[in-house]
Amino acid sequence: MIRTAIIDDEPEAVEVLKRHASKLSKLSVQASFCIAEEALAYLSINPVDLLFLDINMPGYTGLELMRQLPYRPKVIFTTAYEQYALDGYEFEALDYLLKPISFEAFRRSFSRAEKALTTTAYASPVSEISFFVKDGKKTIKITYKDLRYIKACGNYVELHGENNRVITRTSISNLLQKLPDGRFVRIHNSYAINLDHINSIEDNHVTINEVRLPIGERYRNAFWELICYQMF
């Protein structure tokens, strides 16, 4: 099943895309939004495989929203203006759907996305329990359940376990794509955490292994929505 979100400032356009998606058994609409800022808050902690994303929106444009995401999903841009299509090359857009969008055009775009996502999954299988990173000359196995938090350090990240630290050349955004959905979330431009290892939350900081990590303003609302959802 391919998880998708639909983002368009026109409610009618959202409804059209949702109707089209409901006819495809392999496509699951996780959420839909008419306000880009709300979409960004949700997507920052609820990764999807594919976005149907309007380019020309008030506030954040579709392109600006993509630049803000902490990971890079596949994207099909939707637009009423043909001249915007070239702008999406930065994100390797799979397709551009020109409004009004017919079901047949939608189906063709989804087939392209399904093929791209299947190819990616086949080429880069991810273990359910661990992954490997380079630390200097060493290749080190990282177990998901032991990873406490991740810290950005320029062109590198520090992966902090209970009693160890591994440094590797990548970004938090790239690394989050290797990690299980829903357990690892970004809380700051410089930090992502494993929710299973939070000891406490106080004064917009989380404590993990006696280390206090800040919750950045950009990520705060989405983080608290997730925490409140899990509270008894």
> Which CATH number is associated with domain 2-123?
3.40.50.2300
| pLDDT tens-digit series, residues 132-176 | 888 888 888 888 889 999 999 989 999 999 888 999 998 888 888
Structure confidence by residue, pLDDT tens digits, 84-133: 544 544 557 888 898 899 999 999 999 989 888 876 544 344 445 777 88
168-198 pLDDT per residue, tens: 998 888 888 777 766 788 999 999 999 889 9
**CATH 2.40.50.1020 boundaries in the chain:** 130-230
CATH 3.40.50.2300 in the chain, residue ranges: 2-123
130-230 adopts what CATH topology?
OB fold (Dihydrolipoamide Acetyltransferase, E2P) (2.40.50)
Sheet containing 191-194, strands listed edge to edge, beginning at the edge strand earlier in sequence: 165-168, 156-160, 149-153, 191-194, 184-188
